[in-house]
Chain A
Amino acid sequence: MAEKIELQKVEVWDGNYAASHALRQAQVDVVAAYPITPSTPIVENYGQFVADGYIDGEFVMVESEHAAMSGCVGAAASGGRVATATSSQGFALMVEVLYQASGMRLPIVLNVVNRALASPLNVRGDHSDMYLGRDSGWIQMDAFNAQEAYDMNLCAFRVGEHMDIRLPVMVHQDGFITSHTAQNVNPLSDEEAYKFVGVYNPVEEMLDFSRPVTYGAQTEEDWHYEHKARQHKALMDARPVIESVFAEFQKVSGRQYKRVETYMTEDAEVIIVALGTTVESARVAAKQLREEEGIKAGVVAPRVLRPFPFDAIRDALQNCKAIGAMDRSSPGGALGMLFNEVSAAMYTTSARPVMSNYIYGLGGRDLSINAIKDIYRELQENATAGEITTPVQQFISLRGPKLSFFETRRS
């Protein structure tokens, strides 16, 4: 029986440590991992907890991230509660197996500590790896600080393991900005946390030799399409389950989460849509601008990126006049993902807010409160003019000449 840890009511943890305590409290059976900066401490701490007798589990050392996720698939198919962590290049190397895991409907929890993708090599935070995973069939939950990295991990097991869902879940946090920033965290006790996550219920486990099953079968044009359609339906149907898990989590923690988080949006004319720590920094900027300049600023953030909260995004944004979608990933010859997905959602309503796209913070470039305020001021001009007064896509806080693309054709 694993030993317990008496946690303080308030701990000062960084996002990595917070995530590893959640894995400990969930009593994860197997972590197969190939550690990579900045996610390394999550699996390192899991290994320490196992060695020190705080988890009845197993740390499997492997030779690559491809093998790490393959080990997770094997362990999950065998009937264990499984988790791991990765970042950036490691995530990229896992991609092939990510699709296997979701296709086999294995509820693995993957902590993705978001980091830029090379080249040039860069260990710092941006959302390139999170964006790379968005068609992989995983549920993606996003933490904006260390507390949420802990909370989302506990919720992730409940969501992924739900009998109506059975899908793998990624929990994202910003590399270094969240993963290596220590902040006040209020953890649940070991008993409360395990009670919330619950005992793992395997489905079609391979170690049940009385009922042999096959994982990873081949299907061609006869059945592949039906499998993928069911998988997509499971993702879409996860929306109410996620909401019910969040509601239950609020009962035990007092902390409320939604698929789309809103801040001061009631009367907002200009709204920033963002992910990660940027959401919180934007809240600081929005509050200051309301007090200092009377700009009715708000913030909208997908807490759950997949399944994309198409419905909740429309509800949150339909009454505002101008929206700035902030993408922390090199858009690779297109408009940013948030710009495209939010615009599509709004276009299926009668609302026609002015949409613009801001690329920022690649490779860990600092995003200052002042830079966010400048965006809000531009959005205010757009709202007043009723059309976009800047190029549609702008790179901000970039060295050298201004980089921007496309003029509006609304007017």
Chain B
Amino acid sequence: MVEIRWHSRAGQGAVTGAKGLGDVVSTTGKQVQAFALYGSAKRGAAMRAYNRIDDEQIINHEKFMNPDFVLVIDPALAFTDDITVNDKPTTQYIVTTHTDKETLIAGIPALQDKADRVFIVDCMEISVDTIGRAVPNAPMLGAFIKISGMFELDYFLDRMKKVLSKFPQKIIDSNMQAITRAYNEVK
């Protein structure tokens, strides 16, 4: 079982990102779960989304998880939310940030001894450059497949195009660019 926790603000697309990832993963024959902790949350409120991926049907419905991956798609939440809560000695972090890795970790005491498991990518800049708006979910997917090694980039892009097929070609193209750039830029 692979477990993923997204830290996001309502409106940034973490739920869509988690569901999109679930859609793609399901095409490989695996079982997926995508859910979020929200409800009456207003746009901008801190929220969390979750994925579970397994070979067998997922029948665990607890919200609690010890994540294998923590994906932070809002730069400020890395500092204000408890992104290391319930983590494991192997949990890997992918954080959206404008700064370099040293500056980021220096500002987050909880990450001090986890530097080798922290990866950074500027999902905000990438999404503004490619999609034209700050929707950091698509680039985070690109960064995630690079760090997790779960898919080859071309395979993921091909499947993601099908998931997005109801959208205009321009939106599909810009999302593919965002995913590809983040895949190449995450470090």
Contacts and interface: CB of A to CB of B under 8 A. Distances in A.
Given A10-B26, A12-B22, A182-B19, A366 B62 contact: yes
Interface string A109-130: 0000000000000011000000
A12 B61 contact: no
Contacts of B36: 180
Contact of B62 (A11, A123, A281): A281
23 contacts: A10-B26, A11-B26, A12-B22, A12-B23, A12-B26, A37-B40, A38-B39, A124-B39, A177-B35, A181-B34, A181-B35, A182-B18, A182-B33, A182-B34, A183-B22, A183-B33, A183-B34, A184-B57, A284-B59, A366-B64, A367-B62, A369-B62, A369-B64
B61 A281 contact: yes
Nearest to B58: A183
A196 interface: no
Given A180-B36, A181-B33, A182-B35, 15 more contacts: A10-B26, A12-B34, A145-B59, A177-B61, A182-B32, A183-B32, A183-B34, A183-B58, A184-B57, A280-B59, A280-B60, A281-B61, A284-B60, A366-B63, A367-B62
Contact of B61 (A38, A182, A280, A370): A280
A176 interface: yes
Interface in B15-45: 18-19, 22-23, 26-27, 31-36, 39-40
Interface of A: 10-12, 37-38, 123-124, 145, 174, 176-178, 180-184, 277-278, 280-281, 283-284, 364, 366-370
B63 to A, nearest CB: 4
Contacts of A37: 39-40
B34 to A, nearest CB: 4
B23 to A, nearest CB: 5
Contacts of B61: 145, 174, 177-178, 181, 277-278, 280-281, 367
Contact of A183 (B27, B31, B39, B40): B31
Interface of B: 18-19, 22-23, 26-27, 31-36, 39-40, 57-64
Contacts of B35: 176-177, 180-182
A280 B62 CA distance: 10
B59 A283 contact: yes
A249 B35 CA distance: 28
A367 B60 CA distance: 10
B1 to A, nearest CB: 11
Contacts of A366: 62-64
Given A181-B35, A183-B32, A183-B33, A12 B59 contact: no
A366 B61 CA distance: 9
Nearest to A179: B35
B10 to A, nearest CB: 13
Contacts of B19: 12, 182
A123 B37 CA distance: 12
Report, nearest first, the 8 A-B pairs whose CB atoms are least far apart: A280-B59, A277-B61, A181-B35, A182-B34, A366-B63, A123-B39, A368-B62, A368-B64
Nearest to A278: B61
Contacts of B59: 145, 280-281, 283-284
Contacts of B34: 12, 181-183
B185 to A, nearest CB: 28
Contacts of A370: 64
Contact of A12 (B32, B57, B60, B63): B32
A373 to B, nearest CB: 11
Contacts of A364: 39
Contacts of B26: 10-12, 184
A369 B60 contact: yes
Report which residue of A181, A281, A364, A369 has the largest number of chain B beta carbons within 10 angstroms of its beta carbon.
A181
A116 to B, nearest CB: 11
A183 B23 CA distance: 9
A210 B52 CA distance: 58
B33 A281 contact: no
Contacts of B57: 184
A98 B145 CA distance: 50
B60 A184 contact: no
A294 to B, nearest CB: 21
Nearest to B61: A277
A45 B94 CA distance: 35
Contacts of A368: 62, 64
A179 B32 CA distance: 15
A124 B37 CA distance: 10
A126 to B, nearest CB: 13
A184 B31 CA distance: 6
A283 to B, nearest CB: 6
B60 A281 contact: yes
A369 B1 CA distance: 15
Nearest to B34: A182
Nearest to B31: A184
B38 to A, nearest CB: 8
Nearest to A10: B26
Contacts of A178: 61
A12 B34 CA distance: 9
Contacts of A10: 26-27
A38 B37 CA distance: 13
